Structure 1
Amino acid sequence: MANVYMDKIEAFVRANEENVIRDIKRLVDIPSVAGTPEPGAPNGAGPAAALKEALALAGEMGLATGEFEGHMGWAELPGSTDKQIATITHMDVVPAGNGWTGDPFNMRVQDGWLIGRGVADDKGPGVLCLYALKFLKENNVPLKYSVRALLGTSEETGMEDIDRYLAGNRAPDFCFSPDAEFPVCNGEKGHFRADLVSPVCGGQVLAFEGGVAFNAVPDRAAALVRAEGLLPAENITLEPGEEAGTVWVRGWGKSGHAAMPEGTRNAIGLVVDYLLANKVGNEAETAYFEVLHKLHASTDGSALGIAADDGLFTPLTVIGGTMKMENGRMLQSVDSRFPTNTTGEAIRDTLTALCGSAAAVENVGIAVPFYIAADAAPIRALIDTYNEVTGENAEPFTMGGGTYARHFPLAVSFGPERQDLQLPEFAGPMHGANEGAKIEHLMQALKIYILALVRLQEIDL
């Protein structure tokens, strides 16, 4: 059945390119970083506003819409059975952070690319899913299984939205999440999150701040210290503090996603190493910074003693995402993505032993890895669709990123990013400054998603 629609899919994608760009901008221009819960907006006004606009867009397409307690919304087409296929994307985004060359919440088009927070993660893909349902509806594609395009509001801050949704709604029989890379990701590493918390040190460090999200490598950080005679260093600048004898030590790094830290430079680590090298800090502060030095010394966990590689997933990664000071205590967030030959509990215990009395390991969160066999029928349907459209001979892969897929009985992540994507100088990665998405790739992804939803109707679930 799928091949019958190829010409219509091609025509639909060509005809709707400008509409897709317009509608992605409608969503990207809404700042939807998590905020203070409000009535009807459990994840803050921004995510709620973006969800409302996405549902309005779906309604304009003639799709039936619904929402669950402000956590999750959806557009839907009915099928002839009680089984359901779903896509799931999210309308919330990580904070903009620094280093942008334009307004992150005013999407712009540049040399065939969309630039703005959420164009790739995950508002652009969310719009593609709605257009895929629009095609199914306009072309009266017979549906054995209902198709629901789920739209979340707290993917970047713990995915409580999907937990709430699944507590009150049945899980789809198969789901894919366009929140990663093509071709098909059929496994995700485990996820460890915690804070390394110092004692109240009462020393030379008066303030420390850095990072915008626990799952992003920070490109800048700053510590206010009481010290004299400090000199600038590579990637370090100095500014006088308001109080005599104080100075702001500022680190300048390179941002990126916590799951893909290769090529990044962590600004918190730069400041920590500078303070250690210049002997800024009392005994307690120095002991704490020695722990942080090991955290930032490598992104594979080797300096911490938690490195792991199972041959199925890529090796363990670990980064420090945010740094702050509360009530005289410094808090460094830790984000690790781990393969199957270690556990979150093992990482916690190793960090606890390493910290000793220098820091406490607090606010621990753990998600286990998941993996679905590459020869499962829905997985083959997706990979075959991708290969047919692209002319490639790709196979499923595993990754360190965390998506909604891990919350469902049978789900994977499915594009639209590309593992070999070469970013132009003016565009950045997901979670980074100048987040970019190539229009040509988005439109090809739309073609893939439409064909995949048609092909999934042909298999037994």
Structure 2
Amino acid sequence: MSRNWEKINRQIDTFIEKNQNEIIENVCRLVRIPSVEKKGCTTYPYGVKCAEALDFCAELAKEKGLIVDNYDYYGLEIRLQKEQSGKRLLFAAHVDVVPASEGNLYPPFQGIVDKGYLIGRGVVDDKAPLIALLYALAFLKEEEPIPMNDIRLFVGSHEETDMEDLKYYLQRAGQPEFGIAADDDFPITNGEKSVLKFQLRGKETIDGVKELLQKDSTGEVFGLSVIDPVCGRSRCKVTEEIDEMTKERILCCDLRLPSSETLDEAEKKIRAFAEKQGLEMTVLRLDQGYWISEEEEIPSLLVELYHKLTTLEDRPYIMEGCTYARHFKQGCGFGAGQQGEKKPFPEGHGSAHGPDEAQNIQVLLRALKLDILAALAIDELWSK
């Protein structure tokens, strides 16, 4: 199957022009739902507001003629039609957000448009990219012919915490042939470092160990200072907390390792160090990273598509942050941000998780076009 790409580009541009105002309004409406995780809710796994945000997306998808399945309010699956064949391409984004920062110049949950930007908590991470993906599926549903392969969107509600939402979904729906997380910058994120978060407790040696760790930014004291030719250097950060119950001092460590390193072996080395120092170690999080070569077929296709559309020379990159992409057997990150973008706000404002998250509207609309083109290009690749 060979598509008329010139015609498709015109159709996409017409679709975006027709729907631009509606897209902006729906991003703002979603931002107005303060979908921060709420523990202890007996009705919904992540609280009423996360459930409300999922319901909003479900209703919007149904308005566009898309098929929606609710996975017990862990997340939604949105697809083009009831029965789909072929290989499965799964896009993924999320409605949950981190709590509002201090020092906002704009109200965090009002969904404001200013200076050519959408502003509010979660607009960058990940509500605007999510709405773009939903409209990408709406385009694919509306235009003929519908893709021959199985293109779906997962809408999660616990990405910011432990990603148990996606794990719950994948256990029931199965792994896609390829997964794309829309939670990064273009052109692609082709890797994420592994995460090992842990605590160290102990009375006599805590000061000495704290001093050692504050001088060590790479994990060398644990025997874990690593330089990987692909994923870069390991990194370790330490902070101190006080246990409110026992008043005991706790060292909280955040170790990021190249995905080539084995987390079990890393944990053993840290436990050996802790035992030698007379400290108690408690693991808080073990999360394996991933890496996929930018030369592989789909990553290479996505990068080429981005460079062709934008004429920008941004390169694939590996990051220390965590997205849904690490839970796919094969996948990567694809947008919706622009590397190195200078936003018209004070320093420290405008980025994900910071005050006054701000999404450039034109970058978002371009991301929508890229999402559509990516889905169609992968569909064509798989249909040969």
The question of a shared fold, defined as TM-score above 0.5 by the shorter chain, is answered with yes
| 1:315 and 2:319 correspond | no
1:289 deviates by 4.7
Provide, for residues 220-253 of structure 1, a one-character-per-residue CA deviation record: whole Å limited to 9, x for no partner.
xxxxxxxxxxxxxxxxxxxxxxxxxxxxxxxxxx
| 1:181 and 2:185 correspond | yes
Q: Is the 8 A contact 1:291 1:354 kept in 2?
A: no
- Change in CA separation of 1:373 and 1:98 when aligned onto 2, cut-off 3 Å: same
Q: Is the 8 A contact 1:192 1:365 kept in 2?
A: yes
Q: Matches of 1:314 and 1:95 in 2, distance apart?
A: 31
Q: Matches of 1:387 and 1:13 in 2, distance apart?
A: 20
Larger helix fraction of residues: 2
1:90 alignment partner in structure 2: 94
Which of 12, 15, 19 is equivalent to 2:18?
15
| 1:387 and 2:307 correspond | yes
Q: What are the within-5 Å matches in structure 2 for residues 429-444 of structure 1?
A: 429-444=351-366
Q: Matches of 2:325 and 2:342 in 1, distance apart?
A: 26
Provide, for residues 70-107 of structure 1, a one-character-per-residue CA deviation record: whole Å limited to 9, x for no partner.
11112211375243211000111122232322322222
Corresponding letter in the other structure for 1:336: L
Q: Is the 8 A contact 1:314 1:399 kept in 2?
A: no
Q: Identify unmatched segments of 5+ residues in structure 2.
A: none
Corresponding letter in the other structure for 2:186: F
Provide, for residues 159-217 of structure 1, a one-character-per-residue CA deviation record: whole Å limited to 9, x for no partner.
11111111111222222110111111222211112233455xxxxxxxxxxxxxxxxxx
Corresponding letter in the other structure for 1:24: V
Which piece of structure 1 moves more, 31-40 or 124-133? 31-40
Which piece of structure 1 moves more, 89-98 or 72-81? 72-81
Which piece of structure 1 moves more, 78-87 or 346-355? 346-355
Which piece of structure 1 moves more, 28-37 or 442-451? 28-37
Q: Matches of 1:2 and 1:88 in 2, distance apart?
A: 27
Which of 156, 160, 164 is equivalent to 1:156?
160
Corresponding letter in the other structure for 2:230: L
1:456 alignment partner in structure 2: 378
Q: Is the 8 A contact 2:149 2:382 kept in 1?
A: no
- Aligned CA-pair RMSD: 2.5
- Change in CA separation of 1:377 and 1:40 when aligned onto 2, cut-off 3 Å: farther
Which of 122, 126, 136 is equivalent to 1:122?
126
Q: Identify unmatched segments of 5+ residues in structure 1.
A: 200-283
Corresponding letter in the other structure for 1:307: S
Q: Is the 8 A contact 1:37 1:45 kept in 2?
A: no
- Change in CA separation of 1:296 and 1:118 when aligned onto 2, cut-off 3 Å: farther
Corresponding letter in the other structure for 2:369: K
| 1:398 and 2:318 correspond | yes
1:369 deviates by 2.9
Q: What are the within-5 Å matches in structure 2 for residues 126-141 of structure 1?
A: 126-141=130-145
Q: Matches of 2:215 and 2:97 in 1, distance apart?
A: 28
Q: What are the within-5 Å matches in structure 2 for residues 410-449 of structure 1?
A: 410-426=330-346, 427-449=349-371
Q: What are the within-5 Å matches in structure 2 for residues 221-370 of structure 1?
A: 284=204, 287-297=205-215, 299-301=217-219, 306-320=224-238, 323=241, 325-327=243-245, 328-340=247-259, 342-352=261-271, 353=273, 359-370=279-290
Q: Matches of 1:116 and 1:430 in 2, distance apart?
A: 10
In the alignment of these two chains, the number of paired residues is 375
- Change in CA separation of 1:385 and 1:97 when aligned onto 2, cut-off 3 Å: same
Q: Is the 8 A contact 2:186 2:334 kept in 1?
A: yes
Q: Matches of 1:177 and 1:321 in 2, distance apart?
A: 30
Q: Matches of 2:215 and 2:361 in 1, distance apart?
A: 37
- Change in CA separation of 1:167 and 1:315 when aligned onto 2, cut-off 3 Å: same
1:420 deviates by 1.6
- Change in CA separation of 1:77 and 1:378 when aligned onto 2, cut-off 3 Å: same
1:370 deviates by 1.8
Q: Is the 8 A contact 1:82 1:145 kept in 2?
A: yes
1:373 alignment partner in structure 2: 293
Q: Matches of 2:125 and 2:371 in 1, distance apart?
A: 16
Q: Matches of 2:70 and 2:166 in 1, distance apart?
A: 12
SS at match of 2:227: coil
1:247 alignment partner in structure 2: none
Q: Matches of 1:54 and 1:296 in 2, distance apart?
A: 45
2:174 alignment partner in structure 1: 170
Identity %: 30
Q: Matches of 1:101 and 1:293 in 2, distance apart?
A: 37
Q: Matches of 2:99 and 2:208 in 1, distance apart?
A: 29
1:346 deviates by 4.7
Which piece of structure 1 moves more, 147-156 or 75-84? 75-84
- Change in CA separation of 1:168 and 1:321 when aligned onto 2, cut-off 3 Å: farther
Q: Matches of 1:101 and 1:138 in 2, distance apart?
A: 40
| 1:26 and 2:10 correspond | no
Provide, for residues 124-160 of structure 1, a one-character-per-residue CA deviation record: whole Å limited to 9, x for no partner.
1111100101111222342111221110111111111
1:47 alignment partner in structure 2: 50
